[in-house]
Structure 1
Amino acid sequence: MKTALRTTTKTGTFAQALEDFKQITKVGLAVSVVFSSVAGYFLGAETIDYKVLLLLMIGGYFMVGASNAYNQIIERDLDALMKRTMNRPVPSGRMSVNTAFIIATVCAVLGIVILYMVNPKTAMFGAISIFLYTSVYTPLKTKTPLSVFVGAFPGAIPFMLGWVAATNTFGIEPGTLFMIQFFWQFPHFWAIGWLLYDDYKKAGYYMLPTGKKDSATALQVIMYTIWMIIVSVFPVTGLTGRLHLSVTGAVIVALLGVGMLYFAIRLYHEKDNAAARKLMLASVAYITFVQIVYVADKFIGGY
């Protein structure tokens, strides 16, 4: 009986530790970032090197995991004030700050080393992403709505990172991929900021551009969505080097963008959490399907 109890306790402890690791590295976000990087790799690669692809995926996960873990250490007192985050490992007390710091540092070192094995430029951009997210974006969140602008830089790196991993070069092609995800982040995060406004307010976060759930914020959401659509279809012009998009691909991407713009306009008219939630979900669907369309267009189009 005692042996069975000890086995159950150990199993329960391991399961909790694994769950805490997933939470502190934000496994859902990390996987979405890895997905973006893989899409960028397929776009840049002339031939698929599965070893490089695996290193990119593992290194990318550790890179994002490190950023998220450091972020949760820095924001632990504020996380404890919000319903959405109070049960995270550090603010809830399940994980000590020292343990979280060790996890974050190990992830950062592993992430950069593994990405360096891909090529030095990939490791450099990974390190820049961690630095900007933890040392610039995180401290600014309680000081200015411009934090979203700053946070859009590390957030836009993954799609670009895949191309750099495949080619070891940085030019117009990865720059375009960067800009697509850069402009996308504004309507995405402002939709989240609108939806979680009251919870963010408890911790002193003001994520909306005007600091309020008003028409001016909703109008900026529309403007950035339009810029996102323009940048997303721009490769159809043939002015983005090896990064191509067929007319058919451009039409599909444009239609996806118009769909997201519809929800942005709905937010402007309705100004409620239901509209913000729909826009947030539409934005997640948009970036996922756009990346799929780009990759499919390359291989189906024979570029």
Structure 2
Amino acid sequence: MLIRCNLLRPQAVEGVAWPALKRYVSVMHLASVSSRPFVRHPPHILGRLVPIPPTGQRIALLGLSTHARQLMQKPSSPQVNGPVVTDAIAKPNPGPVLEHKSDPDTEALASSPTNGQTAPKINDHIARPEDGPDSKDNSAPHELRWKDAPAFQFGVYQELSKAQLAALVVLTTMAGYAMAPGATDVATLLWTTVGTTLCVTSANSINQWIEAPYDAQMARTRTRPLVRHALSPGHAFTAGITSGIAGVGLLTYFVNPITAVLGGFNILLYTCVYTPLKRTSISNTWAGAVVGAIPPMMGWTACTSTLDPGAWILGAFLYAWQFPHFNALSWNLRPDYSKAGYRMASVVDPALNARVALRYSLLLFPLSLAVPYIGLTTPWFIVTSSVVNGILLAGAIQFWRKSTDKSARQLFFGSLIHLPVILALMMVHKKRPDDDEEKEEKREETTAAESG
């Protein structure tokens, strides 16, 4: 049997050192705002569940500090009025009792108290503000009061949309529009940017709505809005659906249908394919790479209304870039991914993770050759892009030879610099129609001079 703490509403308890309680007890609580489990684990007793004796009057805690043991051995406090922590403990349903290995310290804590002491209640294991090594009286009653939840702030939507990631995606969309031939309509670019932003917001909001129980277990994501109950899951889901409909609608009406189809398809691919795959197969990284490849194609189709070879080359470039970028990032997040049950290559097969990053870093070279070949840029792009790709490749080789936190960070931050630089080089070396006209005029003049 486990402690199940049912938080009646998303509020905090005032007057109780709640972080201290989380350090001592591994609590699995059910948030009433969503009726979905949010699992929280203290860092140093992760995965070590807390059994409750049949009487339900005392608990055996694993891995406690000396101060916690002293608190547990004190006599129980008198019953107080108000919503105390014991009121929030739900009666466990009949079921199999979890087995754990016996431990001398645990047995001593779980055994009946001696020397005439009464059995300690769970309230005695909560570290009160006045408790401490030098406290004189720890048995005084302490009333618990509910503290009002913080007021809603619109900045929560920025966190829900993963603003930094959304900005990077919108940047690639704008680059795709800029690289398309005849990109001169500022209004179309503006509506493409707004529509893409709403589509990204939709995908990220629904993703957080699905993964909130797992985000609560990872250090990187446990401060997200749904985890800390800054807004309800229903609110987040509604925001995701609304922004998705608005984004696809704007792209359909103000841009063109093919761009809207790509935007809607990307939302479904991210939320219905990539997100579930993260917990079932390492192929989720390849699905996520497709998600990252579509935005520049949306920018291209917004300008041309067609999926020309240039759109596919830009998409392939972003697809290959995803692997050194994400595989380096996931290396340093292996403990979090493993804790939440995500099947990433860095967790399941670290050697494959490094090989894939190297393989796709090499693929960037032939893709850079293809860009001027199809007429997107001048041949000078081959020279400048080779320097930038070579720097990224050096980081990928180092990560492949010896995968460490340092080499992973170098490759990750190198990829963050690589993408905007390579896109800027494309725009600098973009082949314009005027260049072809000037060459044709010079050719005609030369021919006329020779014939004359």
- Structure 1 and Structure 2 fold alike (TM over 0.5): yes
Residue 262 (str. 1) matches residue 394 (str. 2): yes
- Structure 2 Cα separation of the partners of residues 122 and 297 of structure 1: 26
Quote the residue 2:408 is aligned against: 276
Contact 2:334 2:346 in 1 (8 A): no
Q: Higher helix fraction: Structure 1 or Structure 2? A: 1
Quote the residue 2:268 is aligned against: 131
Secondary structure at 2:367's aligned position in 1? Answer: helix
* CA separation of 1:169 and 1:300: change in aligned 2, threshold 3 A: closer
Render the CA deviation track for 1:217-265: whole Å, top value 9, x for unaligned.
31221111101222133122x2x2xx42222112111111110000011
- Structure 2 Cα separation of the partners of residues 210 and 251 of structure 1: 37
1:143-182 aligned within 5 A? 143-182=280-319
Render the CA deviation track for 1:177-229: whole Å, top value 9, x for unaligned.
11000111111111111121111111011222672333x43122111110122
Residue 225 (str. 1) matches residue 361 (str. 2): yes
Count of equivalent residues: 285
Gaps of 5+ in 2: 1-149, 436-452
Contact 1:39 1:159 in 2 (8 A): yes
- Identify which of 359, 376, 379 aligns with 1:247: 379
- Identify which of 230, 234, 240 aligns with 1:98: 234
Runs (4+) of structure 1 exceeding 6 A deviation are none
* CA separation of 1:301 and 1:248: change in aligned 2, threshold 3 A: farther
How big is the shift at 1:299? 6.4
Aligned residue identity for 2:223:
N
Aligned residue identity for 1:23:
E
Secondary structure at 1:257's aligned position in 2? Answer: helix
* CA separation of 1:210 and 1:225: change in aligned 2, threshold 3 A: farther
Quote the residue 2:117 is aligned against: none
- Structure 2 Cα separation of the partners of residues 301 and 29 of structure 1: 34
Contact 1:233 1:253 in 2 (8 A): no
Contact 1:137 1:151 in 2 (8 A): yes
Residue 286 (str. 1) matches residue 418 (str. 2): yes
- Structure 2 Cα separation of the partners of residues 210 and 247 of structure 1: 41
1:1-303 aligned within 5 A? 13=151, 17-116=153-252, 117-208=254-345, 211-214=348-351, 216-236=352-372, 238=373, 240=374, 243-298=375-430
- Structure 1 Cα separation of the partners of residues 309 and 432 of structure 2: 22
* CA separation of 1:282 and 1:300: change in aligned 2, threshold 3 A: farther
- The percentage of counterpart residues that share the same residue type is 31
* CA separation of 1:79 and 1:246: change in aligned 2, threshold 3 A: same
How big is the shift at 1:63? 0.6
Render the CA deviation track for 1:93-127: whole Å, top value 9, x for unaligned.
11101110111011101110111120000000001
- Structure 1 Cα separation of the partners of residues 434 and 222 of structure 2: 50
Secondary structure at 1:206's aligned position in 2? Answer: coil
Structure 1 length-normalised TM:
0.90
Secondary structure at 1:245's aligned position in 2? Answer: coil
Render the CA deviation track for 1:41-100: whole Å, top value 9, x for unaligned.
111141411110110111111111100000000001000000100110011111101110
Contact 2:320 2:361 in 1 (8 A): yes
Quote the residue 2:24 is aligned against: none
